Chains A and B, each alone.
Chain A
Amino acid sequence: MSNLEQFRVSARTWLEENCPPSMRTPMITDEIVWGGRNASFSNPDSRLWLERMGRKGWTCPTWPKEYGGGGLSLQESAVLAEELRRINARPALSSFGISMLGPVLLEYGTHEQKLEHIPSIVRGEIRWCQGYSEPGAGSDLASLQTRAILDGDDYVINGSKVWTSYANVSDWIFCLVRTDSEVPKHAGISFILFDMQSSGVSTRPIQLISGASPFCETFFDNVRVPAGNLVGRLNDGWTIAKRLLQHERTMISSFGLAGGNIDRGANNMTLVQAARHYRGDGSRISDPVLRDQIAQFTLDAEAFELTSKRSLAESKQSEGPNATSSMLKYYGCELNKRRYELMLSAMGNRALGWEGDSFDPGELAITREWLRSKANSIEGGTAEVQLNVIAKRVLGLPDLLTLVRN
C-alpha cells in the first residue's frame, strides 16, 4: 500500500472515531464556529470537534507541525479533504486567522511571531479581525492614514478603521498603519498585530441594510503596541497587504460556491427547488423565462466551480494563490448576487418578509441574505477594483493615471 493510501486509511479511521455525528450534518449558520477567547458553542459537539481537529492540526492541514499545523503534504491534505467530504463533515473552524493572516505570517513572520500566533490560530483560541479599510481609504486602500509612531519600544497608534468584520467580538487585529508620511503612499505602510483588549481600542458595530451588524467602526486612541509585533520590514507592509488580499479574495470567491452547494440559499433550498415550490406545481417550474434564467445561472455556477478547482490545481503547482484570485473574487461575487436575485424571483412575496410569524424562518433568512449579498462585490475589493487588477496585472494593460502623471 502506498504511503498516501496508508494515510487515507488512518485518516478515515481517525475521523470515524472522532467526528461527532451531529458534525456530519449540513452546517447551520448559528453553529458556525469562529473560535476565540469568548467562543460560544450552541452545539456542544462543535467544541469537541474543534478541540480534536485543533489538537491534530487538521484545521490547518498543510501548516508546519512545529507551529501546531497538520504538517501534511498537499497530496495528503487533498486526501484529508476527500475523507472529510465523504462523511459530510462540517468545517471545525471558520477563521480569518486561517484564511487570511496565517498564510502571510508563515510567509513573512519571524520564528517567534509564528510560535506566538500560529498555534492559537490552528486551535481556534484567538479570533482575528482585519484592520484595512478606513473612512478615507476604501478602494484606494494605500491612502490609509492610521498612524503608528515609534516611542521607545512601542508603536503608538492613532486613527480609525471601518468595515472591520466582527471587530467587536475579535481578540486580535492585523492592521495596516502608516509609518512614513514623507514617501509615496505605498512605501510608508507597515503591517502590525495587536490585542484588541489594548487600552485605547474601541469598536462600534454598523447596522447594515440586512439589519445585521457584521462590520464595525474601530477606533485607536494612543494604543501602545510592542515594536516586535510589526510583521516583515518597516514600511514594507504593502507587499504583505497585497498578498493577504489574494488570500481574502480566494476566500470570498468561495461564496459563489455556497459552501459546495452550488445554488443553495439560506433557506437550504436550491434555486430549482424554490422555483418548483413557489413558481410551479412542485415538480415543474411553470415560468419558462425563470427556468431559462436558472439554467443559465446553474450552468455558469458549474463553470465557475470547475474553474475554482482548476485554479486550485494550478496554484498547487506554483504554491499559493495566483493571478486568478481577482477573477474568482469578481465572478464568484457576481454569481452569489445573481443567486439571490433569482431566489427572490422564484419566491415572490414569500421572500419579502422582514420579521414575524407570517413567514417561516427560511423565508425570512432569504430576505436578509439577499441584502447581505450586495456587500459581496464591495468587500475585499470592489468588483471594479478586481477588474482593474485583472486589466493591469493579468492582461498588462497600461495605467491611465501613471501615463497622465508622466
Chain B
Amino acid sequence: MAALVLDDDQRLLKEAALSFCRENAPLSVLRRLRDTRDPLGYDPDLWRQMVELGWTGMTVPEAYGGFDFGYRGLGIVLEASGRSLLNSPLISTVLLSATALDFGGSEAQKQEFLPAIVNGEMIMALAVDEAPHHAPANVKLTAEPGNDGFVLNGSKVMVLDGQIADKLIVSARTSGSGSEQSGISLFLVNAGSVGVSVRQTGMVDSRNAATITLNNVKVSGDDLLGPCDQGLPLLERILDTGCIGLAAEMLGSMQEVFERILDYLRQREQFGVPIGAFQALQHRAAAMYCDIELCKSVVLAALDALDNDSEQVPRLASLAKAKCSEVFFTVSNEGIQMHGGIGMTDEFDIGFFLKRARVVQTLFGDQIFHRDRYARLQGF
C-alpha cells in the first residue's frame, strides 16, 4: 500500500524547504519580478541557492550527479514553493526535462545533460501544446527526415521557461497526421539554432512562458529523445510526472491561501465580533478543509506511485491534477471573497494565487480534460 505519511528524512526536507521559501523566497520576489518586468522572470541568485540545496538533483540518479531522493522529495519542495508562488526553472528543467531525459534519454544524452541540470548550468523547457487546450497527441509540428537528421517546422505555445531555456524538448510529428497516437517523436533542440524564434508571452500569473516557432530547424539523428514515431508513451510519462508535480505545487498554494483566510477570519471584526464566528463563513471554511485533506492524500499517493514506478501513475496523475485544480480554484476564489474589498486590491497578495490557479489548472490539461482521462483509464 502507498505510504501516506512522511518518513523522518522527508519531514526534515519539508521543514528545510518551507523555511527556505519563507525566509529567502517570499511572495514579494514574484511581485518584484513582475513590477520590474524582469526579462528573466526568475531570480538567478535564488536559483543558485536552490541548486546548492540539491533541489535540481532531487530525482536524478546518483550516477548522473543527482541525489536520488525521489519524487516524494521533489514533491515536498514543489509544495513548499507553491506557498510563496516561487517562480524558478524547477518545473521546466527538473520536473519535466530531467524526467524526460531520465526516462527517454540515451546513455550519451543522460551523461551530457543530467549533470548539467543538477549543477544548475542548463535550463531546459518542454514544448508540447499548439492550441488553446492541452492535447498531447494533437501534433502538427513536423519533423521531416533530412540529411543526417530531421528538419523541424511548426510552432508551440505555453512553453514554460521557453524564453530562458538553453535547450528545448519538442514533440513533433514524424509520421501520421491529426491526433494519431503513432508518429509522434521527441527532439532535443538548441534554443540558439538557426530557425528557432522565441517570443515571451506575458501571462496573468507573471510567470515565464513563450511561443516558439521552428522554421526549417535542423537537428541530427542523435537529437531524437526516445523512440522515433512511438514517442507518445514517453511524452505521457513526462506529462503525468508534470501533472503530479503541479498538483504538489497547487497543494502548497491552496494551504497558504487557506491559512491566510483563517487568519483573516479570526482578525477581521464586523458587528462587534470576528467574522470567523459567522456560520456562513465557518461552514465554507470547514468544507474547504475537507477538500484540502483530500488533495493531500491524492498528492502523496501519486508521488508514491512515481517513486514505485507503479502502473497506477497515469490514473493517479489525472486524479491529482483534476482534484487539486478543482480545489485550488475554489480556495483561491474564496480567498478573494472572504477577504472582501481588500482581496480585490493588487497591493494585497491573495490575487496572485487566483491568477496562478487558472494558469496551473490549464497547464497540461484542466479538470475537464483529466476527468475525461480518468474515466477512460477506469474503463468508461
Contacts and interface: CB of A to CB of B under 8 A. Distances in A.
B282 A307 contact: no
A395 B380 contact: no
B285 interface: yes
Contacts of A387: 282-283, 286-287
A18 to B, nearest CB: 26
Contacts of B342: none
Interface in A294-342: 294-296, 298-300, 302-304, 306-307, 309-310, 313-314, 317, 324, 327, 330-331
B289 A390 contact: yes
A219 B1 CA distance: 48
A99 interface: no
Given A309-B1, A327-B293, A398 B375 contact: no
B195 to A, nearest CB: 42
A142 interface: no
Contacts of A324: 293
Given A285-B380, A291-B375, A303-B323, 9 more contacts: A292-B371, A309-B1, A387-B283, A387-B286, A388-B283, A390-B286, A391-B285, A397-B265, A400-B277
A123 interface: no
A313 B5 contact: yes
Interface stretch (B21-29, B47-55, B127-135, B294-302): B294-302
Given A276-B380, A298-B374, A303-B298, A400 B5 contact: no
B15 to A, nearest CB: 18
B62 to A, nearest CB: 30
B277 A291 contact: no
B279 interface: yes
B277 A403 contact: yes
Contacts of B283: 384, 387-388, 391
Given A303-B298, A304-B294, A310-B300, A388 B279 contact: yes
Interface string B364-378: 000010011011001
A291 B286 CA distance: 29
B282 A391 contact: yes
A3 B278 CA distance: 54
A275 B298 CA distance: 26
B13 interface: no
A356 interface: no
A294 B378 CA distance: 11
B319 A327 contact: no
B273 A294 contact: no
Interface residues of B, number: 39
A225 to B, nearest CB: 38
B289 A306 contact: no
Contacts of B279: 388, 391, 400
Interface of A: 272, 275-276, 284-285, 291-292, 294-296, 298-300, 302-304, 306-307, 309-310, 313-314, 317, 324, 327, 330-331, 384, 386-388, 390-392, 394-400, 403-404
B266 interface: yes
B214 interface: no
Interface string B239-283: 000000000000000000000001001100000011011110011
A299 B266 contact: no
A327 B289 contact: yes
A169 to B, nearest CB: 35
A5 to B, nearest CB: 17
A330 to B, nearest CB: 6
B2 interface: yes
B319 A302 contact: yes
Interface string B348-368: 000000000000000000001
Nearest to A302: B319
B371 A295 contact: yes
B322 interface: yes
B290 interface: yes
Given A298-B374, A309-B4, A400-B279, A391 B296 contact: no
Given A391-B285, A395-B262, A307 B276 contact: no
Contact of A395 (B285, B368, B371): B285
